[in-house]
Amino acid sequence: MLKCTMSSSRVWLFRGLVMVAAGLMLLSWFMPWWSCYIVEVMLDNAIVIHPWGLEQNLGPFAGYASSGFEMPVWFAPFMWTYLGICVAALLYGSWLGEKEVKIGKFKFKWPKLLVGGVGLSYIVVVVLAVIVAAIRTGDFYGMHLIGYSYFEVATHVESGVEAGLRFGYWLACGVGPLCIALALLRDRIIGKPKLNT
């Protein structure tokens, strides 16, 4: 009787690479994606944007700008749920065998579909995050998303503001393509099944 088996070390290599991608996703999630420094009052990380919401450290000026930090109540729970689903899909996808799903005329292996789907969704999150951040910083603070601008920290009190995307954002930019690459290269990483008698 013939049986098909995969090279155990190659399967573990794929699983390890997917776990690295999941770890990088988690790391990027807990790092700031954008922040600003208010020059005149020397407030570093005065406003910080994470993928799950905004936080402010404006000190005595917090009351003045608090309206700019309101996010819908559902936003943070939705984003944390999204993260949980993504990490679970990556880990589950790395452990699935050669099971296939048919979508229309096409057949996809579940591991490729899950890992690639997470990568694609994270690219969407990264793109939407920078668009939403640009709108919110411009709407509420009249500042640029990247670079130097002026911000009214209190009535008749203006300050220069240095703002920019942080390492967490750039790390997140790499996670989506990494997951897609792992999905596309899965068969090459794992190798062809071996026939055993």
- Domain assignment of residue 62, given as a range: 3-196
34-69 b/e (C-beta count within 10 Å ≥ 16 → b): bbbbbeebebeebbbbbbbebebebeebeeebeeeb
**CA 57 and chain centroid, separation:** 23
CATH number at residue 101: 1.20.140
Compute how many other C-beta atoms are within 10 angstroms of the C-beta atom of residue 117: 18
Q: What is the mean pLDDT of the chain?
A: 82
The 10s digit of each residue's pLDDT in 71-105 is: 788 999 999 999 999 999 999 988 877 777 777 77
The tally of domains found in the chain comes to 1
Q: Which amino acid is at 62?
A: A
pTM score above 0.85: no
Q: Mention every residue, 6+ apart, whose C-beta is less than 8 A from residue 132.
A: none
